[in-house]
């Protein structure tokens, strides 16, 4: 090798080889939510499309749910934890600053040869993490990467806030990214717009709460109208760019799997993208609520298990959230998982 040059070992392409999900045991109805907020079941469903959501129990910690989803994705991909080269975990609700949650999850999965790190990009986190994993595999830095989106949004939301209490929920989803002879994950389209920093934010900082414990502890606050208007323009534009960069048209798609913000927004995005009727549009939000970084892998798993989208077909993923920021790409869907994917108690209890 000549002076000033570095070697590399690119493998070519990447694809999703496995998917897994963990959905908390407790199903919470709109009626139950309305017991704590000034609202009605009809208003919630009309405004958001949400009928039920999952709330995690004490033993369903972020670590436990993430490990459960990751374990199922590994099983689906046909590999063990010891074959992982990296674990990338997207979350905005891990209340422990350090060590990284991904390291704890890698330990649970016996990923003894794996690097592990967290990625924080709110509801866009999963698509950002998927892009990182894809780039690692294509560059030859890793062969198998586990990407997890995991959230306990109930730790971040005031149950008496009528703007957020009905919306957010808990869960974890995961995919395994591995090498492929052909492209299976398209180029990522990503961006951020700090002009909307206050549209979806924490009401105060942990530092302020530390210095004045009489304050309410930090909780999510959202200006839903501003987020909606922004998403209709910026997210649709990003979706079109992702299709163009992957050399795929809307007619080629078999599925559209956006962040599960709410049904109204999903419907508007699908309409603005001019998706044909044959494209399956993920609406996991109806029964799962808005699970932030976990929502896209959870929705993907649901579509595959329910047989609503065929394996091997192209799907447009796009996440968007606080910042406001976004990321998206086109992927080829893996085979549908056959292992149990829901309603099983996690096997770990650490936070």
* Burial category of 63 from C-beta neighbours within 10 Å (exposed 0-12, middle 13-18, buried 19 and up): buried
pLDDT of residue 2: 56
The rounded distance, in Å, linking the Cα atoms of 176 and 204 is 36
Identify the CA nearest to 219 among candidates 198, 194, 201: 201
The rounded distance, in Å, linking the Cα atoms of 71 and 50 is 28
pLDDT of residue 344: 54
What percent of the residues of the chain are helix, what percent strand, and what percent coil, each to the nearest 5? 35, 25, 40
pLDDT of residue 311: 94
| Phi, psi for 141 (deg, rounded to 5) | -75, -20
Active site residues: 123, 259, 290
The rounded distance, in Å, linking the Cα atoms of 141 and 6 is 14
- Produce one character per residue of 70-95: b if its CB has 16 or more CB atoms within 10 Å, e if not: bbbbbbbbebebebbbbbbbbbbbbe
pLDDT of residue 343: 47
Say if residues 261 and 200 touch (Cβ distance below 8 Å): no
| Phi, psi for 297 (deg, rounded to 5) | -65, -35
Say if residues 284 and 260 touch (Cβ distance below 8 Å): yes
The rounded distance, in Å, linking the Cα atoms of 150 and 101 is 10
pLDDT along the chain (351 residues), means of 10: 65 94 97 90 89 96 98 97 98 92 98 96 96 97 98 93 91 98 96 83 79 81 84 92 97 98 94 97 97 98 96 97 92 85 53 56
The rounded distance, in Å, linking the Cα atoms of 256 and 318 is 9
pLDDT of residue 339: 55
pLDDT of residue 347: 55
pLDDT of residue 251: 97
The rounded distance, in Å, linking the Cα atoms of 303 and 282 is 7
pLDDT of residue 350: 57
Identify the CA nearest to 162 among candidates 60, 19, 288, 33: 33
């Amino acid at each position: 090798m000549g002076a000033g040059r570095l070697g590399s070992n690119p493998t070519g392409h990447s694809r999703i080889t496995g998917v897994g999900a963990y959905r908390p045991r407790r199903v919470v109805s709109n009626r139950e939510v309305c017991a704590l907020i000034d609202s009605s079941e009809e208003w919630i469903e009309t405004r958001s499309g949400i009928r039920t959501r999952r709330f995690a129990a004490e033993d369903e910690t972020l670590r436990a749910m993430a490990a459960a989803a990751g374990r199922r994705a590994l099983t689906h991909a046909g590999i063990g934890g010891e074959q992982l080269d990296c674990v990338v975990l997207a979350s905005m609700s891990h209340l422990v600053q350090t060590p990284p949650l991904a390291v704890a999850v890698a330990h649970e999965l016996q990923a003894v040869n794996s690097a592990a790190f967290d990625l924080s990009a709110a509801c866009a986190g999963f698509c950002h993490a998927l892009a990182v994993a894809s780039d690692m595999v294509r560059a030859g830095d890793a062969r198998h990467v586990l990407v997890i989106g995991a959230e306990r949004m109930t730790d971040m939301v005031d149950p008496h806030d009528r703007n957020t209490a009905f919306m957010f929920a808990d869960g974890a989803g995961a995919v395994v990214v591995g090498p492929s002879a052909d492209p299976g994950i398209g180029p990522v389209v990503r961006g951020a717009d700090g002009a909307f920093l206050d549209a979806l934010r924490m009401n105060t900082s942990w530092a302020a709460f530390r210095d004045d414990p009489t304050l309410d502890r930090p909780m999510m606050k959202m200006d839903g109208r501003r987020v909606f208007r922004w998403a209709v323009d910026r997210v649709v534009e990003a979706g079109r760019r992702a299709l163009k960069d992957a050399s795929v048209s809307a007619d080629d798609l078999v599925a559209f799997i956006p962040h599960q913000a709410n049904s109204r927004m999903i419907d508007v995005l699908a309409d603005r993208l001019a998706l044909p009727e044959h494209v399956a549009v993920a609406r996991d939000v109806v029964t799962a609520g808005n699970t932030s970084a976990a929502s896209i892998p959870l929705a993907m798993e649901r579509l595959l298990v329910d047989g609503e989208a065929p394996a091997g077909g192209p799907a447009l993923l796009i996440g968007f959230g606080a910042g406001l920021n976004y990321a998206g790409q086109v992927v080829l869907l893996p085979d549908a998982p056959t292992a149990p994917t829901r309603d099983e108690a996690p096997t770990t209890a650490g936070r």
